[in-house]
Structure 1
Amino acid sequence: MIKKKFNVNRSDQPHAPTPNLRLRVAYGGLRYEISVNSIATFGEVKKVLTAEIGLQANEQRLIFRGKERENGEYLDRCGVKDRSKVILMQDPSSIERRFIEMRRNAKIQSAHRAISDVSMEIDKLTEQVSAIEKSITDGVKVPEVQITTLIEMLMRQAIKLDGISADGDATAQKNLQGKRVQKSVEALDVLKISNGKIKPAVVTTKWETFDPPPNMSPWELFD
């Protein structure tokens, strides 16, 4: 049994002394006991119960003597006495709304996790793009297959992003990662052109660079 005391006064009689009533509230398998003024309304009782159990007032239905009571009805005028029993039920429509909200939140969290995974892969790929850009800027020719493979890997991440169903903030994150992929692919397309203009390094053999010793005829090297 949980006991708490709450005082609620009728607004049109702020200075009139009013007795407190102890209400026994049954909510499913739980039992609560609260203290309110006898001239409180059932709407005010709902506010007390919101603080007690966390269920919002618009989600509550209060049953007294087999009848659902309206927010504006006063306890004393409805015959509520000390230790009277009131049944609290959750409004069915609010249960459905909460279920929908829970599913929506779960969907958003799942989208955030999926986008985060793709983002980490894109981070790795953009590092490779930077490495290729540095090589080409330094005049070092990069194998073309390395560039085309990297483009394909980036496009796979773009496909993954397209398959993620996102709402709210997740949509913004999804779009941001999509722009990163697009920017990297465009950069590689430009680098591919620059890379094609770089002449491959010519490797010479040792005999082409070998000079005969001084005072020795080149023909003497073959004796």
Structure 2
Amino acid sequence: MVSTQNNSSIDGNQRQGVPELEVRPGGMFVQIRDLNPNPNPSPPTIKLKVKFGSSYHHLHISSHASFGELKKMLAEPTGLHPEEQKLIYKNKVRDSKSYLDVAGVRNGSKLVLVEDALSKERRCLEMLKDANFQNSSKLLKQLRLEVKKLSQQVESLHMKGCKEGRVSETEVENLTEMLMRKLIALDEIQVVGDPRLQRREQVREVQRQIESLDMMKLQLCSNGGGDSHNAHAFTSTNAKGNQRLHPKQHCTSIVKEALRNSESVVTTKWETFD
């Protein structure tokens, strides 16, 4: 490979700003390659002195770092979250997104750190809000499982009435009371956003099951019931007008019909809440 200096003047002085050329084997002139393995050296590290209250903290950081990065380094020794910090340099509060070198921070510069009370209060409120959200979600999940179990018990009670022909009034009242307690528990949960919709769905499910039990209890009373020892007879009318018990094979369809009727016939006046 042959190197040439055709960028020099006649008197032998190299012109400024013109790169040197080299000749490739094919005769083409190209710019001499820079064989420097590290053309962009890393920015220098500077030492800073940060005052916080009566204490001083000495840190080493890149001169091209941001004030936000400096705050993260100060979080551990000061115990302040980066969002709760205010860094002051030359009597001016510096933004976390601004850079040290742009602000004129050099090796040996001194900064002052103060606590941002407003940001701390805002952050505490956010943490409290998040904790309430998590707690409400946990309670809703637990109540959803409990309501599901009670709904299965209501369905089982309908099945029992279909198969045996009679249902104890005590069972109806106990299930109603347990569902009412779940309704109160749902009302006491303070929720916002998506959990509110979840709570509303659970409230409607509880109300639907209670209304189904109310219909069962009304039928029980119409059949001469009145005390806990009386039972609810599940009867239907055949083509001749005679009453008979529903066949066992029809129990599933009867239960579905009873639950569907409870949605259209409201026996309880509910108070609506979000």
Return 5+ residue gaps in structure 1 as ranges: 1-14, 202-223
Partners of 2:170 and 2:201 in 1: CA distance: 28
Flag the 1:76–1:128 CA change in 2: closer, same or farther, 3 A.
closer
Does the CA contact (< 8 Å) of 1:27 and 1:89 recur in 2?
yes
Return 5+ residue gaps in structure 2 as ranges: 1-39, 221-231, 236-242, 246-274
TM-score (ref. length: structure 2) = 0.52
* Match for residue 179 of structure 1 among 204, 208, 228: 204
Which residue number corresponds to residue 34 of structure 1? 60
Task: Map 1:70-219 onto structure 2 (within 5 A).
Answer: 70-71=94-95, 80-192=105-217, 193=219, 195-198=232-235
Once the two structures are TM-superposed, the CA of residue 165 in structure 1 deviates from its matched residue by 1.2
Does the CA contact (< 8 Å) of 1:161 and 1:174 recur in 2?
yes
Once the two structures are TM-superposed, the CA of residue 190 in structure 1 deviates from its matched residue by 4.1
Identify which of structures 1 and 2 has the higher relative contact order when contacts are C-alpha pairs closer than 8 Å and 6+ apart: 1
Local SS of the residue matching 1:62: strand
TM-score (ref. length: structure 1) = 0.62
Which residue number corresponds to residue 216 of structure 1? none
Partners of 1:127 and 1:76 in 2: CA distance: 68
RMSD of aligned alpha carbons: 3.6
Partners of 1:68 and 1:200 in 2: CA distance: 90
Partners of 1:23 and 1:97 in 2: CA distance: 29
Flag the 1:200–1:158 CA change in 2: closer, same or farther, 3 A.
farther
Q: Identity over the aligned pairs, expressed in percent?
A: 29
Is 1:49 aligned with 2:74? no
Local SS of the residue matching 1:158: helix
Partners of 1:142 and 1:120 in 2: CA distance: 25
Partners of 1:139 and 1:73 in 2: CA distance: 79
Paired residues, number: 180
Flag the 1:106–1:143 CA change in 2: closer, same or farther, 3 A.
same
Once the two structures are TM-superposed, the CA of residue 99 in structure 1 deviates from its matched residue by 1.2
Greater helix share, 1 or 2?
A: 1
Partners of 2:144 and 2:175 in 1: CA distance: 16
Once the two structures are TM-superposed, the CA of residue 105 in structure 1 deviates from its matched residue by 1.8
Once the two structures are TM-superposed, the CA of residue 98 in structure 1 deviates from its matched residue by 0.8
Partners of 2:212 and 2:56 in 1: CA distance: 64
Flag the 1:147–1:79 CA change in 2: closer, same or farther, 3 A.
closer
Residue by residue over 1:125-171, the C-alpha shift from the partner in whole angstroms, topping out at 9 and shown as x without a partner, is 22211211111222521112311321122112101111121123332
Local SS of the residue matching 1:166: coil
